[in-house]
Amino acid sequence: MLDILLVEDDHDLAETVVQYLELENIHCDHASNGVRGLYLLQEHDYDALLLDINLPRLDGLTLCQKLRNEGKDIPVLMLTARDRLQDKLDGFRAGTDDFLVKPLGRKF
């Protein structure tokens, strides 16, 4: 079974994503702010990270940079409402692997 961490401050969206992943037999922990997400990443070995950019306490770009600076190569998918080219470039500089722009689609 895959273990995923979702760091997302929109509780309704997070609940929907967690439920969907569980239907696919994927375990998903959730953190609602960047500091809690960073803590969970330091305590557990996840297979992937789903990460919002706009987070309280520690934004997603900074969290991603911290992971990469620590040498962690976990796959990171940014979930964000930001869709400008500059936002994507900032994300790739921070170390994300790819982007998924919100809203995520109707199948969730």
**What are the structural domain ranges in the chain?**
2-101
> What is the model's pTM?
0.92
CATH homologous superfamily of domain 2-101? Response regulator (3.40.50.2300)
- Residues 33-47 have a mean pLDDT of 97
What's the confidence (pLDDT) of residue 36?
98
What's the confidence (pLDDT) of residue 104?
61
Q: Quickly state the pLDDT bin for 22 (edges 50, 70, 90).
A: very high
Identify the residue with better confidence: 25 or 79: 25
List the one residue out of 27, 61, 59 whose CA is nearest residue 45. Answer: 27
Cα separation, 43 vs 82, whole angstroms: 29
